[in-house]
Chains A and B, each alone.
Chain A
Amino acid sequence: MFHLRKLIEFVGSVSGFALRVVVDFFRPPFEGAQIMRQLAEVGYRSLPLLIAAGFALGTVMTLHTRTTLVTFGASSMIPTVQALAFFLEIGPLLTGLLLAGRVGSGIGAVLANMRATEQIDGIESLSIDSFKFLVVPRVVACVIALPLLTLFTDFSGLMGGFLTEYFSSGTSFYLYIARAFANMEWSNFIPPTLKTSVFGFIIGLVSSYFGYTTNDGAQGVGKAATYSVVVSSLLIIFADVVLIKCIFFAFPENAR
């Protein structure tokens, strides 16, 4: 009963926090410079991790699927399988979970440290709205950056798959790409990519919530970072299931 009450309080508190993010986003002054700064932090600096992870997973996936598909004489389907798997699910989910780790822990720790060292009080004492200055730009940057970063994961996964195929069977780049996108519809590409904006909102919101609201001093920094990663990751997985059902509802041909 106690845990249920705590859970309800947490959901209510995070919902209020989310509502404030949305309202403050539309309220001037607009934090353009802060959003650009956070986009660089969230986006640009996450690229090496995502490209490496996408490439490695693309390579491994091709190595695994190749044996089976060759057995059934369907080796020409390898690029199609690879592209569909990455664009529909692996790319978005991998990007979401990796960024929940890299960006979520970073946002949680930075904001909690700012709280512990009175930097947030310092901002408030200068008549600057610390929530609008610190939280809103981070959430907005995550919402914008996630779909863009997902494309990098998708294409690096395809590149990993291509190189594996090239060294295994000598398939040309042109042929690989032609086969990869032969059965691809826009509805296979755009909705799954855009759904990562929701993942971005979750990462930005949850990690900012734990960082901004901590009151445990230095100990709170570690806690905020850990909770940010764990809760963001769980919510991303849950949201993924819900969003896939929504995509199937909006684009029934994707469900076939």
Chain B
Amino acid sequence: MSLRNPPAVIFDHVAKAFGPKQILRDISFEVPTAEILCILGRSGTGKSVTLKLLMSLIKPDTGKIWVDGEEITGLKEAGISRVRRKMGFLFQDAALFDSLTLYENLALPLRRLTHKSQAEIDTTIDKVLGQVNLGGDKQKMPASLSGGMRKRAGLARALVLEPRILLADEPSSGLDRITAAEIDELLLLQKRERQTTVIVVTHDVHGARRVGDRFAVFDKGDLVAFGTAAEVEQSENETARKLISEY
């Protein structure tokens, strides 16, 4: 089933538990196309699980998830693969393949999922690595990159297939303020120039307020506030007010 002119992402009464532990409870929200949603919350409140549900890396126990107008919870392997091609995922620790060079990390999805020639692949990789200021490091192994470089390399891999939806799990964690601001600027660039929808899980309220159009605040598996920064600041939930105003 699909929708016409749909929001980029819809969560419809989604719940997820791991064993006896309820991670997400009856979560519903929508993210319009070309907006940046920042998901805030304390550790262990289900923020990263939300991203993994979107990527179909795990399945919800109940509820439905729509990506780009397509309901994904009932999809088989081929359908999931098709939906994933619309998305890029920046993992918390970048999750680069440590046995491949940075160039090979980026070339792998291009070789397998596109019909680009070798010259086109090289051009694409040079362009994406240039965007994240890693143009001179493409023959390096992930283990030889610093934390900030790894994060930018992870972002480059997430962007290399030009996704319509970008998911970023803690893009600024462990980074100094300048590098974190550079990452934030790259996320804004995706939205401005490519109308990419971006969903960011973060603890960095400063960065979130810089890039976010809307904010979702999770607490103990519940979505306790959702809206613009001003709306969340006026929320009845104390945790939401504290999280959004924390500098």
Which of A's residues lie within 8 Å of B, judged by CB?
29, 114, 117-119, 121-129
Stretch of B80-88, B183-191, B213-221, B230-238 on the interface side: B80-88
Q: Do B112 and A121 have beta carbons less than 8 Å apart? A: no
Q: Which residue of A lies closest to B109 (CB)?
A: A126
A203 to chain B, nearest CB (A): 20
Among B77, B82, B87, B89, point to the contact of A122 (Cβ < 8 A).
Answer: B89
Bound form: Cα–Cα A125–B82 in Å: 11
B81 touches A127 (CB 8 A): yes
Number of A-B residue pairs, CB cutoff 8 Å, is 55
Q: How far is the CB of B105 from chain A (nearest CB, A)?
A: 9
The B interface, classified by DSSP as helix, strand, loop or mixed, is mixed
Contacts of B88 in A (CB 8 A): 125
Q: Could you tell me if B52 and A119 are in contact, using CB atoms closer than 8 angstroms?
A: no
Looking at the complex, which one of B81, B84, B91, B112 makes contact with A118 (CB distance below 8 Å)? B91
Knowing that A29-B112, A129-B81 touch, tell me 8 more A-B residue pairs with CB under 8 angstroms. Answer: A119-B95, A122-B96, A124-B55, A125-B57, A125-B87, A126-B108, A126-B157, A128-B108
Q: Does B122 belong to the interface (CB within 8 Å)?
A: no
Q: Say how far B168's CB is from chain A's closest CB, in angstroms.
A: 12
Cα–Cα, bound, A29→B112 (Å):
9
| Interface size, B (range) | 20 to 34
Task: Tell whether, in the assembled complex, residue A127 and residue B93 are in contact, meaning their CB atoms are under 8 Å apart.
Answer: no
Is there a chain A Cβ closer than 8 Å to B98's Cβ? yes
With both beta carbons as reference points, the residue of chain A lying nearest to B110 in the complex is identified as A126
State in angstroms the CA–CA spacing of A122 and B142 once bound together: 14
Contact among B52, B95, B113 for A117, CB-based, below 8 A: B95
Instruction: Name 20 A/B residue pairs within 8 A (Cβ), A-sorted.
Output: A117-B98, A118-B91, A118-B95, A119-B96, A121-B52, A121-B55, A121-B57, A121-B91, A121-B95, A125-B87, A126-B84, A126-B109, A126-B161, A127-B81, A127-B84, A127-B85, A128-B108, A128-B109, A128-B112, A128-B113
Whether B113 and A126, one on each chain, are in contact in the complex, defined by CB atoms closer than 8 angstroms, is yes
Q: How far is the CA of A125 from the CA of B157 in the complex (A)?
A: 11
How close is A118's CB to chain B, nearest CB, in angstroms? 4
Bound CA–CA A139/B80 (angstroms):
26
The CA of A186 and the CA of B228, in the complex, are separated in Å by 79
| Centre residue among B77, B112, B157 by max chain A CB count within 10 A | B112
1/0 per residue B66-100: CB within 8 Å of A? Answer: 00000000000100011011011101110111100
Residues in chain A near residue B157, CB distance under 8 A: 122, 126
